[in-house]
Structure 1
Amino acid sequence: MKRILVTGAEGFIGSHLVDGLLEEGHDIRAFVYYNSFNTWGWLDTFPKEKLQGIDIFTGDIRDPNGVRKAMEGIDEVYHLAALIAIPFSYHSPDSYVDTNIKGTLNVLQAAKDLGTKRVLITSTSEVYGTAKYVPIDEKHPLQGQSPYSATKIGADRLAESFYRSFYLPITIVRPFNTYGPRQSARAVIPTIIMQLLAGKEEITLGALTPTRDFNYVKDTVQGFIEIAKSENTIGEEINISTQEEISIGEMAEVLMKQINPRAKILCDEERIRPEKSEVNRLLGSNEKIKRLTAWRPRYSLEEGLHETITWLKENLDKYKVDIYNI
C-alpha cells in the first residue's frame, strides 16, 4: 500500500483515478480546489463510506505552501490539477499560466525537497497540435496551437528539466481525448449526448472534420496506474491512446443513431476555433505504453459510449444543457 496524492481529484479523470487507486488498495489524499461552498466536485457524489476512507485536502495548486503541505508524507503524486478548456484559454491565458505552469512547478519543487518517490505529470495530446505524421508517437514535434496547449508544453518541459537537473523520478503521462461519466459539458461527446437526451432536433457543434483518438476514462485511469507500477517509465513521456481515430461529425452520427436518428447537425460559428488554432487530426501511437507496461485498452468505443450515455441519462440534471459551456 502506497500513500498517494491526487491533485485535481475533484475533476473528471481525477475522481475516476481516486476510484481506481482505492481499488488497488492505496491510501489516498485527494487535493481539491478550495472554495467557499466547501464543494469537492465529483467526490461529493461518492458514497459516504468511500469518502470516509479518503483524506480530503482543500487548497489551491497555485499556492506553493499549500501544495507542499499536501505532499508531506506522500510516496507518489498524480498531478492532474489544471485548467483545460481551450475556448476559455483564449480570453483568460494568464490563469492558465498560473495554474498549469506555476502549479506544476509547485508540485515539482515540493517533490524535490520532500524526496517524493514518484511524480506523474499529466500532459495532453493537444501539445502535439495537428498531426505532422500518424500515428503520433512521443517523438512528434510539439506545437502550441492554443494558450492551453502552450501552458501544458511549458509544464511538460519543466517536469523534464527536474528529471534531468535533479534526478526527480517523474513521468509525463499524455492521455489522448478521454471521455466517460462525469465529464465536463464543455467536451464534445457529453455536448452531443446531452443535446440529444434533452430532445433537441438540431445538435449544435463546431468543426466536424477534425479527428480525435478517444479513450474511455477507465482505460485512461488504468494507464496511469500501470505507468506508476513500472520503473522503466521514469523519465519518459508516454501516450495513452487507442491508436484509432474518428471525426467529430462521424461521432455525432454514431450518437444520433443510438439516441435520436431524426436529429440534424447545425454548425455554430461561436464553437469554431480560430483557423490556425484548430487541431485537425489526432491519432496517437500506443506502442510505447504497451512496450513499457502491462496496459492494454479494455473498452471498445461502442462499450464506452454505452456506459457514458447510460450515466448521462441518470445525471442530466447536473448539467446546464441550454448554454454553450466553454
Structure 2
Amino acid sequence: MGNKRILITGSDGFIGSHLTEELVRQGYNVKAFVFYNSFNSWGWLDSSPKDIKKEIEVFAGDIRDPHGVKESMKGCEVVLHLASLIAIPYSYYSPDTYVDTNIKGTLNILQSARELGITKVVHTSTSEVYGTAKYVPINEDHPLQGQSPYSASKIGADQMAMSFYRSFETPVSIIRPFNTYGPRQSARAVIPTIITQLAAGKKKVRLGAVRPTRDFNYVKDTVSGFISVMNSTRSIGEAINIGSNFEVSIEETAKLIAEIMDIDLDIETDEIRIRPSNSEVERLWADNTKAKALLGWEPKYSGIEGLKKGLSETIDWFTIKENLAKFKTENYNI
C-alpha cells in the first residue's frame, strides 16, 4: 500500500495526528482531512516536525458536508475515517451535533467510497459502544449498549458502515480502540486531566467517579492497530477490538500517575464531572484475541509495566512547559 494515496479524516486530532505522522514516516502517500476553520489551523499537525508536514497534502473541510467529503476522497484509494465528536459530557447537551457528525459524517464517507470505488475504508469505533461490561474480557460479540448520546451515535455509525459492506460490498473494516491515551490528548479525558492538574501544582485533583475500570491503550499501540487493520484483507467486514487486555480503575491509575510524578495525591470528587448513574460505563476490559488472530497485532504497552511505561512517556510530554501551557487546568473540559 506504500504507493497508494491514503486519506485520513480527523488527522488534526489526538490519534489522527499520531497516525498521520507514523504513516508518513513509513513512506505512505498521505492526504490529511482537517476541520476547516478561519484560523487556518491544522490542529495538532501544526506541531508536527517540518520534514513530516512537507510530505502531507492537507484538505480543509467539514465531515458533515457530503460534497466536500467526496472532493477530498478523489484520487485516494484508502480512507482511514477518524473524524468524530467524542466528548461524552458534551453529548448530553448537544446530541444533535453527534448525529450530524458521527452518523451522517460516516454516511458521507461510505457513499463517496461506494461511488468512487475506494479499495478500503477503516471506520473508527469505540469501546463505549459496549457500555458497562456484561462479561469480561469484552469480545466483539458483546451486546452494544448506548449509554450516552455519544455512544449511541457511534453505534449508529458502526451499523451504517456494516450495512454498506453487506448491502453494497463496500470494503469496510471497523477498528474499535479501547481507551487510548498519550501525548496531545484532550484534557476532557481522565489521564490528561490528572497529569495537567498535578503538573500545574494543584494540591487536590478534581475527578468524577474513580471506581470504574478502563482498558487503557497507549497511542502508539492504537496507531499500529490502525495500520494493521488497513493492511489486512482479513479485516474487511469485521469489527476488531484494539486494547491492552488489562483492566485498571480510575483511582488506581491516578495513584500510579502520582507515583511516577513523585507527588502526594489527594482526590476531590467534583460533582459536575459525575455522569448520570445509568450513563456511567462501570467496566471496560478488552479481549484482543481477534486482533491477534486476524492481524497478528498485539500491544507493546501491555499489563501494569506497559501502562507505567506509557504513562511515563505521556507525563514527559505534558510536563514540558510549552505543552502544558496549551491546556486550561482551571477549567472542567466537557
| TM-score bin, normalised by smaller chain | over 0.9
Give the alignment partner of residue 320 of structure 1, picking from 324, 328, 333: 328
Could you tell me the TM-score, scaled by structure 2's length? 0.97
**Offset of residue 295 of structure 1:** 1.1
> 2:25 maps to which residue?
23
Distance 2:181 2:133 in 1: 21
Give the alignment partner of residue 301 of structure 1, picking from 288, 291, 307: 307
Q: How do 1:127-142 residues align onto structure 2 when only pairs under 5 Å count?
A: 127-142=129-144
Task: Give the aligned residue type for 1:202.
Answer: K
Identity %: 62
Task: Give the aligned residue type for 2:309.
Answer: E
SS of the residue aligned with 1:57?
strand
Contact 2:255 2:265 in 1 (8 A): no
Distance 2:153 2:311 in 1: 30
Distance 2:10 2:42 in 1: 10
Q: How do 1:78-93 residues align onto structure 2 when only pairs under 5 Å count?
A: 78-93=80-95
Give the alignment partner of residue 67 of structure 1, picking from 66, 69, 90: 69
- Residue 60 (structure 2) pairs with residue 58 (structure 1): yes
Deviations, residues 282-306 of structure 1 (Å, cap 9, x unaligned): 0010000000012111121111001
SS of the residue aligned with 1:318?
coil
Give the alignment partner of residue 291 of structure 1, picking from 290, 293, 300: 293
Could you tell me the TM-score, scaled by structure 1's length? 0.99
Contact 2:256 2:308 in 1 (8 A): no
**Offset of residue 227 of structure 1:** 1.1
> 2:220 maps to which residue?
218
> 2:101 maps to which residue?
99
> 1:227 maps to which residue?
229
SS of the residue aligned with 2:30?
strand
Task: Give the aligned residue type for 1:113.
Answer: E
* RMSD (CA atoms): 0.7
Task: Give the aligned residue type for 1:278.
Answer: E
> 1:182 maps to which residue?
184
> 2:239 maps to which residue?
237
**Offset of residue 24 of structure 1:** 2.0
> 1:125 maps to which residue?
127
Distance 2:174 2:52 in 1: 29
- Residue 312 (structure 2) pairs with residue 310 (structure 1): no
> 1:39 maps to which residue?
41
Task: Give the aligned residue type for 1:226.
Answer: S
> 1:247 maps to which residue?
249
Contact 1:162 1:168 in 2 (8 A): yes
> 2:193 maps to which residue?
191
Distance 1:135 1:262 in 2: 32
Contact 1:176 1:284 in 2 (8 A): yes
Distance 2:260 2:72 in 1: 44
Unaligned runs of 5+ in 2: none
Distance 2:288 2:315 in 1: 26
Task: Give the aligned residue type for 1:13.
Answer: I
Task: Give the aligned residue type for 1:26.
Answer: Y
Contact 1:200 1:263 in 2 (8 A): no
Contact 1:7 1:14 in 2 (8 A): yes
Task: Give the aligned residue type for 1:96.
Answer: Y
Q: How do 1:263-282 residues align onto structure 2 when only pairs under 5 Å count?
A: 263-282=265-284
Contact 1:196 1:260 in 2 (8 A): no
**Offset of residue 260 of structure 1:** 4.3
Distance 1:262 1:162 in 2: 52
SS of the residue aligned with 1:307?
helix
Give the alignment partner of residue 209 of structure 1, picking from 194, 208, 211: 211
Contact 1:6 1:79 in 2 (8 A): yes
